[in-house]
Amino acid sequence: MQALLYVSFLICCLFSSCDIPGYLIVENEQENDINLGIYYLLPEGGTDTLNLAIPAKGRKVVNMGFGTKWDMRGVKFFSEISDKIVIETLSDTIVISDQLEIKRFIEGGRTNFSRRKLFLELH
């Protein structure tokens, strides 16, 4: 009985102390490939880019790292460091550079079920 209690306590400690990573999931609902570029500001100055080539009717998953939560604070932080979001298709290029529009775009992918996953569906 003590061994079972000890193992149960160990399992509870192990799973309660682990932080799971957050994900950015981008789904392409179009019949053609899409390129998505997220330009973000670095703390030491300058910019960096996350470029994703998403095949037609495909999906890309990006591990955003441990501690990433897509709650209101996480969305606010990500939208504040994002300089612009560029979506390129065969026929069009969409540039979102206004901070409020970036925030709305990101908020649209949040789910109430999981704050660890952000779904961006491109139609």
pTM: 0.74
pLDDT of res. 65: 77
Query: In angstroms, rounded to a whole number, what is the distance separating the alpha carbons of residues 16 and 37?
Result: 35
Residue 113: exposure state from Cβ atoms within 10 A (0-12, 13-18, ≥19): exposed
Q: Where are the domains of the chain?
A: 19-122
Residue range 14-54, pLDDT digits in tens: 555 556 678 889 999 989 999 999 998 888 888 899 999 99
**Which is it for strands 93-96 and 47-54: parallel, antiparallel or unpaired?**
unpaired
Q: Strand, helix or coil at 14?
A: helix
* The CATH fold of domain 19-122: Immunoglobulin-like (2.60.40)
Choose between 22 and 62: higher pLDDT: 62
